[in-house]
């Protein structure tokens, strides 16, 4: 017998994350391209982004068609050619890859249109509240939610707009840690 699912987040009701997802009206649209291995990850953060942000689309797969709606697209990904968007916020889209670094490099490699996009890199120095839940290749790496929120804060120049989402994320991390068995 299957367990009842939350109709909004599609997780089993005891693991529902909706209480951690406040409504946020972002100006810059967000497109999250999620590797299929991340789709059912209990500690994944892309679902929280999609639930919280008014202008957010989550696509799952490995190969994606580029958006064709005339918005200025930027890829949130480290790179030497990273710059700053020129269009007004409502005419921009930030594309975020959701997966391990290995999986995100794979998504980038098999979607050549992503490689052609201008890149947006985060200002160094952000710390992660997610570190106790996952392994990072390097110190200072952020979860998908944290990276997307920090990028939107920088691009929109309105950091306070996203404080409720970061607070919800902190509560999500605390709840995930509380569910872990205590090690002797």
**pLDDT in 10s for each residue of the chain, 184 residues:** 578 899 998 888 888 999 999 999 999 999 999 999 998 887 789 999 999 999 999 999 999 999 999 899 999 998 766 666 666 778 899 999 999 889 999 999 999 999 999 999 887 766 666 555 566 555 567 889 999 999 999 899 999 999 999 999 999 988 888 877 766 5
How far apart are alpha carbons 74 and 6 in whole angstroms?
33
- What does residue 165 show for φ and ψ, rounded to 5 degrees? -70, -40
pTM of the model: 0.87
CB 57 within 8 A of CB 51: no
CB 32 within 8 A of CB 46: yes
């Amino acid at each position: 017998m299957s367990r009842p699912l939350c109709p909004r987040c599609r997780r089993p009701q005891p693991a529902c994350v909706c209480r951690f997802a406040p409504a946020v009206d972002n100006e810059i649209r967000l497109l999250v391209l999620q590797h299929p291995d991340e789709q059912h990850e209990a500690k994944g953060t892309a679902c929280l982004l999609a639930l919280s942000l008014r202008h957010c689309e989550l696509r799952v797969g490995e190969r994606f068609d580029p958006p064709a709606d005339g918005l200025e697209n930027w890829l949130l990904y480290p790179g030497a050619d990273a710059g700053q968007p020129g269009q007004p916020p409502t005419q921009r889209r930030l594309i975020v890859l959701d997966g391990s670094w290995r999986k995100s490099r794979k998504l980038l490699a098999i979607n050549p249109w992503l490689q052609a996009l201008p890149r947006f890199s985060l200002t160094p120095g952000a710390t992660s509240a997610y570190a106790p839940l996952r392994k990072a290749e390097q110190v200072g790496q952020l979860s998908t939610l944290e990276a997307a929120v920090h990028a939107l804060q920088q691009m929109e120049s309105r950091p306070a707009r996203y404080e409720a989402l970061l607070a919800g994320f902190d509560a999500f991390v605390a709840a995930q840690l509380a569910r872990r068995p205590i090690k002797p």
